[in-house]
Structure 1
């Protein structure tokens, strides 16, 4: 059966992925310095605000994973769900890290100290393979590595809530119990834990935004007004305690998804969707590949400025070239690495 696409979800993933790439281009090395010198307002916006696109991924991730709470999850099913997510995320992640480490090694002489590979030890690679690099304070091999670990933790947490609800209550009440547990955790995160930066290596710091996405998905099952009210109430309470731009963005995306999902609930799949929708779907399907593989292009752009100083005057052209090259690399990576690994290991 052809999977039904959510065009708004696809569009959010595509836009958020591009913003993350541009944030990293504006954040590292002499390329960042040159961008700031030539267009400070734009570079400042990319550095301070484009990174908040991570919140879009968190909300969309919860929206797409919400079906887990509907399932009856015993111990074996829990391990299966966790294992599936690990196999989906980690094999391409490790390949991308090898690409980043190889690029940093080849370009070492032209990279500033903050961009050089901090460690290539077995312990460093083991920490990344186990998604514990932030927990054990191991320097990341590539920018954005922290998010892969958090995504895995959040999926495992959601599966754990479904398992707990299965154990605690009768089948007809299981879904309600799982949602109640999630709302409790999301509320605790948004009202308290998310205000403590020392918690950011853990899912509990991010489960508020992720949980808003899960609640937005409930709108597809009816009672739209009630779910939107619940989302708004939780978000407004969190912002009243402490205003956080990233949480305001999460709230906005969750309400948008909740409203759209109800008003535009998909019926039968479109045999041949319009070109724009096909492009959005293709971009969304490659958003993880772009997230994984763009960092070597950031390194290459910085090395190019060090090797050919005259390029500094054209820093925005260098950054734009890196962005376009990143799109090409992501397409190749998705086709020849990510998708084959997924088919083999799922």
Structure 2
């Protein structure tokens, strides 16, 4: 068997579509352009404002699916140090995210100079910025510096909760029961049937673990060597949660988890739907997510100056903001996300330190 491919075609396609829906949701929900353009396509803009945000559930499921693939493909944690794993995940998320927050601060400052609107974040203060970098802004109820940044904090919480659950399960004897699988399943069921029904929990991972856990369980259930009963059980539990209280977000998460599982069992997860376009937009989806909001704010502000209240020009402005968000995301991916910033800093600082020691000698 050859090495696992670094990219999965089905996952890339889902990420590509979902990231675009989130950009379009924020364009429809925030800023004056969507208000002015509403008369051109009221049904479409209304749907994007109300429902396109559900696409974030796709990312939650994918994140759990890929976490299981990398951390515990057999249901047991393969790494020795849980803290080291969580720290690496924090660095991977926060380095580009911190850079994007600086872009968001600059974008909001430009937008404030051109228009007054309640979608523009206020000028930040130091503690607010630190809360964002430490991913505590949700818990501390700090005003967000950009749209959607709550997801980054929740992603780290979910990852940490998964790692801790799998690490704790390693203390149990493997031959008796699959304790790691049972721990994740227990957390997912608790989330689906209890915590996810109470919005006061939405700053904590357990609220979202139903979707994330379905992604983890879908990976394990999708092993071609495993009985299909595991996948049938996942579908049954997810359906039962919807019968108890139908939530569109959970329905989308369940469909996504089952799609990924069927794709892996059918051996087309890695190959279909293919195409360079979906692969590329899937690859840059995190960068697009990080930088699209300040881009949209600036375009909103510019159009509000040039064509206030004109439906056609504001509609074209929304299209321009959508395209500009993808261009900015592609650039951010190439020059920030794809660069090992910490390594570059170490290499930049080490010669300076060496030179300093030499000069003192």
Same fold, judged at TM 0.5 (above): yes
Q: Matched residue of 1:114: which SS?
A: coil
Aligned to 1:231: 234
Aligned to 1:61: 63
Indicate how the Cα distance of structure 1 residues 18 and 136 shifts in structure 2: closer, same or farther if over 3 A, else same: same
- Over aligned residues, Cα RMSD in angstroms? 2.3
| Residues in 1 aligned to 2:231 and 2:250: alpha-carbon distance in whole angstroms | 16
Please say if 1:320 is aligned against 2:319.
yes
Structure 1 residue runs without a partner (length 5+): none
Structure 1 range deviating more: 106-115 or 285-294: 106-115
Aligned to 1:205: 207
Is 1:216–1:254's contact at 8 Å kept on the other side of the alignment? yes
Q: Matched residue of 1:182: which SS?
A: helix
State the Cα distance separating 1:31 from its structure 2 match.
Answer: 1.4
State the Cα distance separating 1:147 from its structure 2 match.
Answer: 0.3
1:26-105 counterparts in 2 under 5 A? Answer: 26-67=28-69, 68-69=71-72, 70-72=75-77, 77-105=81-109
| Residues in 2 aligned to 1:80 and 1:330: alpha-carbon distance in whole angstroms | 29
Is 1:29–1:112's contact at 8 Å kept on the other side of the alignment? no
Indicate how the Cα distance of structure 1 residues 310 and 141 shifts in structure 2: closer, same or farther if over 3 A, else same: closer
| Residues in 1 aligned to 2:86 and 2:301: alpha-carbon distance in whole angstroms | 39
Q: Which has the larger radius of gyration?
A: 2
Indicate how the Cα distance of structure 1 residues 145 and 135 shifts in structure 2: closer, same or farther if over 3 A, else same: same
Aligned length: 338
Write 1 or 2 for the structure with the bigger share of helix.
1
1:196-275 counterparts in 2 under 5 A? Answer: 196-221=198-223, 222-223=225-226, 225-264=228-267
TM-score, normalized by length of structure 2?
0.88
State the Cα distance separating 1:111 from its structure 2 match.
Answer: 3.1
Deviations 1:200-232 (A, max 9, x none): 111000000011111111133232521221211
| Residues in 1 aligned to 2:298 and 2:310: alpha-carbon distance in whole angstroms | 13
State the Cα distance separating 1:155 from its structure 2 match.
Answer: 0.7
State the Cα distance separating 1:301 from its structure 2 match.
Answer: 2.2
Aligned to 1:193: 195
Deviations 1:23-69 (A, max 9, x none): 00000121121232321110111011110000100111111111323
Deviations 1:60-104 (A, max 9, x none): 111111132344467x61011101110110011011010011111
Aligned to 1:302: 300
TM-score, normalized by length of structure 1?
0.91
